[in-house]
Structure 1
Amino acid sequence: MAAGFAPPKLRDFILTEKLGSGTYATVYKAFRKTDSREAVAVKVVSKKSLNKSSMENLLTEIEILKTVRHPHIVQLKDFQWDSDNIYLILEWCSGGDLSHFIRNCRILPERVARRCLQQIACSLQFLHEKNISHLDLKPQNILLSGNVLKLADFGFAQYMSPWDEQQALRGSPLYMAPEIVCRRYYDARVDLWSVGVILYEALFGRAPFASRSFAELEEKIRSEKPIELPSGARVSRDCRDLLLRLLERDPDRRITFDEFFLHPFVDLEHMPSAESLGKAKALVLQAVQKDQDGERSAALSLYCSALEHFVPAIHYETDRQKKEALRQKVNQYVSRAEELKALVRSDNKNSFEEARSTRNILIEMSRDQPRLLAALEVASTAVAQEESGAEDYDTLDLYQQSLGELLLALAAESQGRRRELLHSEMRETQTDESLKKDAAAESVRSSCCLQ
């Protein structure tokens, strides 16, 4: 439709401003002709513009959107047609798209990028369970409604099991997986590559293969040079790990859907949702009970777990007064967690020197096992960093790294003195890791201010 033309007439709706247009469709903002004046988006598809392939895509899009209902997927409210057009009446999202949001911010802080990623992952998990692949994931197709992200534009979507292969060129070049760009057979894993590109762009302000032409893009993707993060990029270990595993050119080496949904950076367990506050309250009640019973370490651990749900609960709450009341309540729990942390540290002071001695003996006994030795030295580095007052999250990263290796070593160790010492070291490292998690109380205070 030419730019100066008036929007088409549609029964029950008044079409107003044009929001965007593509090869086959134009999207308008519209209002329902009722007392409610409900705002909607209307996707107008000209029948004349449709060939056989695009008609099949449109019918699949309608079929998929009719059957899916999810808080992070744009809802199809109705569809109509007349002699000229097909109309999809869609949920209205007032915040524009993620591309516009990223451009306005230039880059997103990791904390904000993670919130966005969690919502995208939540919608993809729902689609994956129904064998639906979106096949055109990009920031322009992710809409904002308040602080909620919603996946939109299912024009290329297909019912496709992970092992169903296709060869049709689908999606937008900058976000296409290498196997599509290089015209190889591909499957549902292309959506994971696109998520990696979106996360990269959110964090660094540009796509990893920003190019001036499709030929240049194809040349970069065909290159054997491994994908690297921008020099000086400051992202957490978990974030870096996820990015590089998503942006793996070879789909057989790329992170799987199940691994993606369980990845610690995605952390769907702690994403903001309607259930966040209920989980937080249940945990804090247990924490208060343990606190009253004098079980300081258990209380501290439960307070920390509760705070991991309270922060997303604050983020999810839209009522300003309720949000502020929740912040004040959380600050009380943060203060108590700080007090308990000091008390637990005092309780553990005597065992601290004993743990150091145990670790030194274990190091001497593990000279023949380089991997175990490296894990113990990482634990020693974490302790040294903690004593020197290093950043809590840097130290936590080291404790978690050491803990993973120690678990593997313990599983492989036969009965004997070294196994006993490993058990002791594991307990101490887990305690230290727990204390470092509790230091998240400090970041909770700042997070609460940023929500």
Structure 2
Amino acid sequence: MAAGFAPPKLKDFILTEKLGSGTYATVYKAFRKTDSREAVAVKVVSKKSLNKTSMENLLTEIEILKTVRHPHIVQLKDFQWDSDHIYLILEWCSGGDLSSFIRSRRILPERVARRCLQQIACALQFLHEKNISHLDLKPQNILLSGNVLKLAEALFGRAPFASRSFAELEEKIRSEKPVELPSGARVSRDCRDLLLRLLERDPDTRITFHEFFLHPFVDLEHMPSAESLGKAKALVMQAVQKDQDGERSAALSLYCSALEHFVPAIHYETDRLRKEALRQKVNQYVSRAEELKALVRSDNKITFEAAKSTRNILIEMSRDHPRLLAALEVASTAVAQEESGAEDYDTLDLYQQSLGELLLALAAEAQGRRRELLHLEIKSLMSRAEYLKELIKMRETQTDESLKKDAAAESVRSSCCLQ
């Protein structure tokens, strides 16, 4: 450390490297002067830099942090003061901040961003229930390894108002033009919907906290937690029973639902041996689900072939109904894509788009032959969409890093918001 920049002295701690600094404070890594040599972060605030308002804000921050205990919020372990400084002794987070993490990887895969977002949402929900607002949410204030509070535009590697100058930044903020995602951005429909609703300029139409916590992309139901394994086991027991009873489609659906909880359970487990045993068990369930997938595909083949002729008749009967005809053409495109091997979210989105329109058409359709065929078409498409959704779940489970990374990568993944 350069001369003249030595950190201040603190009775019970040895302050070492400077981690960062802001207007009012400098943060250092430190070690407790005990046998444990516990690592902490010490936020050093100069009293001279504080006016009356900033002092009140600091005392409020201390008061809040003293009472807040949550796995995704940095813990205030203690605070001290002397004639020149106030010291906040905080939990040490070894993974650095989210800003550095994003820069080092340029962009994040959507599933990694989702893991981060789930933890952020969990922490925000906790604060919201206590009527606490953070007021300074940004990537630099989100520490990896236990403090994840804010979704950065991590998917694209830059912020929505990224600018080359303050003048350009001000112009973008003041503009009434809707915020758009980068051209060519490949994100799922749910992810796109959440981002655009979060970036809505008008606060009256922006997504509310309640809607945010319930959004399907946030998906707090499947966030890694102490309950994940119990939920997975309950579902897999039902799957096994349906499998034994010969109900293949129901068994496949239950296995896929169980896997949605098993993967978070693997992320949550910290014991290496138990984690590996759980992976092996999950791989067995994935193998059985693969076998069932092939059987269900065979079972569905005849049904789907019959539905194709029904769809063709319905298309001919809908030439006088442009909106219904357009929805049926979207459905035909989805089916064609799936049958050509495009078992992905783009195809699933087409199914969902067509079903939304067809359900509206069904509600407005008078009794008759076309209504009967439309009802059959909707049932068939729903079946295909659910089956496709299960295939996607299985593929994501099989490609999830938790099922194939070796022990050497564990520490890396834990610092990537994946625990």
Report the alpha carbon displacement of residue 401 of structure 1 after superposing the two structures with TM: 2.7
Count residues in correspondence. 402
Tell me: CA distance 1:427–1:340, structure 2 relative to 1, closer, same or farther (3 Å): closer
Tell me: CA distance 1:441–1:292, structure 2 relative to 1, closer, same or farther (3 Å): farther
Greater relative CO, 1 or 2 (CA 8 Å, sep 6+): 2
**SS of the residue 1:450 aligns to:** coil
CA distance in 1, matches of 2:86, 2:176: 45
Tell me: CA distance 1:77–1:365, structure 2 relative to 1, closer, same or farther (3 Å): farther
The aligned counterpart of 2:335 is 383
CA distance in 1, matches of 2:45, 2:189: 45
**SS of the residue 1:331 aligns to:** helix
Unaligned runs of 5+ in 1: 151-198
Report the alpha carbon displacement of residue 141 of structure 1 after superposing the two structures with TM: 0.4
Tell me: CA distance 1:426–1:19, structure 2 relative to 1, closer, same or farther (3 Å): closer
Tell whether 2:255 aligns with 1:287. Answer: no
Tell me: CA distance 1:442–1:93, structure 2 relative to 1, closer, same or farther (3 Å): closer
TM-score by length of 1: 0.77
**SS of the residue 2:44 aligns to:** strand
Report the alpha carbon displacement of residue 109 of structure 1 after superposing the two structures with TM: 1.4
Conserved? CA contact 2:13–2:30, under 8 Å: yes
Report the alpha carbon displacement of residue 433 of structure 1 after superposing the two structures with TM: 25
Report the alpha carbon displacement of residue 303 of structure 1 after superposing the two structures with TM: 0.4
CA distance in 2, matches of 1:15, 1:46: 16
Report the alpha carbon displacement of residue 284 of structure 1 after superposing the two structures with TM: 0.9
- CA deviation digits over 1:425-450, x for unaligned, max 9? 99999999999999999999999999
Tell me: CA distance 1:438–1:394, structure 2 relative to 1, closer, same or farther (3 Å): farther
Of 90-99 and 113-122, the range deviating more from structure 2: 113-122
- CA deviation digits over 1:379-399, x for unaligned, max 9? 222111111112333222222
| Identity rate, percent | 95
Of 290-299 and 236-245, the range deviating more from structure 2: 236-245
Report the alpha carbon displacement of residue 12 of structure 1 after superposing the two structures with TM: 2.8
**SS of the residue 2:149 aligns to:** strand
Conserved? CA contact 1:392–1:439, under 8 Å: no
CA distance in 2, matches of 1:445, 1:11: 36
**SS of the residue 2:164 aligns to:** coil
- CA deviation digits over 1:302-340, x for unaligned, max 9? 001011112222223333333332222222111111111
Report the alpha carbon displacement of residue 139 of structure 1 after superposing the two structures with TM: 0.7
CA distance in 1, matches of 2:92, 2:406: 41
- CA deviation digits over 1:254-278, x for unaligned, max 9? 2222222222222111122222222
Report the alpha carbon displacement of residue 418 of structure 1 after superposing the two structures with TM: 4.7
Conserved? CA contact 1:287–1:303, under 8 Å: yes
CA distance in 1, matches of 2:14, 2:405: 54
CA distance in 2, matches of 1:439, 1:236: 30
Report the alpha carbon displacement of residue 353 of structure 1 after superposing the two structures with TM: 2.3
Of 430-439 and 279-288, the range deviating more from structure 2: 430-439
Conserved? CA contact 2:145–2:414, under 8 Å: no
Conserved? CA contact 1:94–1:144, under 8 Å: yes
Unaligned runs of 5+ in 2: 376-392
Tell me: CA distance 1:414–1:13, structure 2 relative to 1, closer, same or farther (3 Å): farther
Report the alpha carbon displacement of residue 149 of structure 1 after superposing the two structures with TM: 7.1
Tell me: CA distance 1:366–1:430, structure 2 relative to 1, closer, same or farther (3 Å): farther
Conserved? CA contact 1:396–1:437, under 8 Å: no
Report the alpha carbon displacement of residue 59 of structure 1 after superposing the two structures with TM: 1.6
The aligned counterpart of 2:366 is 414
Report the alpha carbon displacement of residue 49 of structure 1 after superposing the two structures with TM: 1.2
**SS of the residue 2:95 aligns to:** coil
- CA deviation digits over 1:91-135, x for unaligned, max 9? 110110001111111111112112112211211122222222212
RMSD: 6.0
Tell whether 2:414 aligns with 1:446. Answer: yes
Conserved? CA contact 2:29–2:39, under 8 Å: yes
Tell me: CA distance 1:326–1:441, structure 2 relative to 1, closer, same or farther (3 Å): same
Conserved? CA contact 1:16–1:29, under 8 Å: yes
CA distance in 1, matches of 2:408, 2:240: 19
Report the alpha carbon displacement of residue 348 of structure 1 after superposing the two structures with TM: 2.2
CA distance in 2, matches of 1:243, 1:218: 21
CA distance in 1, matches of 2:72, 2:267: 16
CA distance in 1, matches of 2:309, 2:399: 16
CA distance in 2, matches of 1:408, 1:427: 32
Tell me: CA distance 1:442–1:96, structure 2 relative to 1, closer, same or farther (3 Å): closer
Report the alpha carbon displacement of residue 50 of structure 1 after superposing the two structures with TM: 0.6
TM-score by length of 2: 0.83
Report the alpha carbon displacement of residue 200 of structure 1 after superposing the two structures with TM: 6.1
Tell me: CA distance 1:439–1:231, structure 2 relative to 1, closer, same or farther (3 Å): farther
- CA deviation digits over 1:154-185, x for unaligned, max 9? xxxxxxxxxxxxxxxxxxxxxxxxxxxxxxxx
Tell whether 2:16 aligns with 1:16. Answer: yes
**SS of the residue 1:377 aligns to:** helix
Report the alpha carbon displacement of residue 26 of structure 1 after superposing the two structures with TM: 1.4
The aligned counterpart of 1:123 is 123
The aligned counterpart of 2:135 is 135
**SS of the residue 2:249 aligns to:** helix
CA distance in 1, matches of 2:218, 2:167: 33
CA distance in 2, matches of 1:315, 1:433: 10
